[in-house]
Amino acid sequence: MRRVVGVGVHVGRDRLVVVPVPATASRGESLPGESPPSPGSRLLELRGVSKRFGPVLALRGVDLDVPAGKVTALAGDNGAGKSVLIKTIAGIHAPDGGQIYWQGRPVHIRTPRDAAALGIQTVYQDLALADNLDIVQNMFLGRERARAGLLDDDSMEMSATEALAGLSVTTVRSIRQPVASLSGGQRQAVAIARAVLWNSRLVIMDEPTAALGVAQTEMVLDLVRNLAGRGYAVLLISHNLHDVFVVADRIAILHLGRMVATGEIGDFDPQTVVDYMTFGRVDRHPDGH
Q: Domain for residue 118, yes or no?
A: yes
The percent of the chain in helix, strand and coil, each rounded to the nearest 5, is: 30, 30, 40
**Cα-to-chain-centroid distance, residue 73:** 10
201 close to 233: Cβ distance less than 8 angstroms:
yes
Residue 26 and residue 117 in contact, taking contact as beta carbons nearer than 8 Å? yes
Are 74 and 84 in contact by the 8 Å Cβ rule? The answer is: no
- Residue 235 domain-assigned (yes or no): yes
- Residue 126 domain boundaries: 7-31+39-279
232 in a domain, yes or no? yes
**From the CB of residue 113, how many other CB atoms can be counted at a distance below 10 Å?**
10
Question: If DSSP codes are grouped into helix, strand and coil, which group holds residue 136?
Answer: helix
**Residues facing 76 on adjacent strands:** 254
What percent of the chain has a predicted confidence (pLDDT) above 70?
Answer: 84
DSSP SS3 for 259: strand
Residues with Cβ < 8 Å from 242, sequence gap 6 or more?
Answer: none
Tell me, yes or no, whether 108 lies in a domain. Answer: yes
How many Å apart are CA 73 and CA 228, to the nearest integer? Answer: 12
Predicted local distance difference test score (pLDDT) of residue 162: 87
CA atoms within 13 A on the CB side of 43: 32
Q: In this predicted structure, what is the pLDDT of residue 140?
A: 92
Q: Is residue 150 part of a domain?
A: yes
- Domain tally, the chain: 1
pLDDT at 32: 31
CATH number of the domain residue 60 falls in = 3.40.50.300
Q: List, run by run, the mean pLDDT of 10-residue segments along the chain (289 residues).
A: 35 32 32 49 94 96 97 96 96 96 95 94 87 93 89 91 84 89 89 86 92 86 92 94 96 97 96 95 63
Interhelix angle 214-229/184-197, rounded to 10 degrees, is 20
287 is a domain residue: no
- Compute how many other C-beta atoms are within 10 angstroms of the C-beta atom of residue 134: 20
Contacts of 162 (CB under 8 A, 6+ apart): 11, 12, 13, 14, 15, 16
What's the per-residue H, E or C state across 65-130?
EEECCCEEEEEECCCCCHHHHHHHHCCCCCCCEEEEEECCEEECCCCHHHHHHHCEEEECCCCCCC
Q: What is the DSSP letter of 231?
A: T
Instruction: State in Å, rounded, how far the first CA of the chain is from the last one.
Output: 15
CA distance 147 to 41: 39
Evaluate whether residue 286 is within a structural domain.
Answer: no
> Quick one: pLDDT at residue 284?
64
Asked if the structure places residue 254 within a domain, the reply is yes
Find residue 42's DSSP bridge partners: 67
Count how many residues are written for the chain.
289
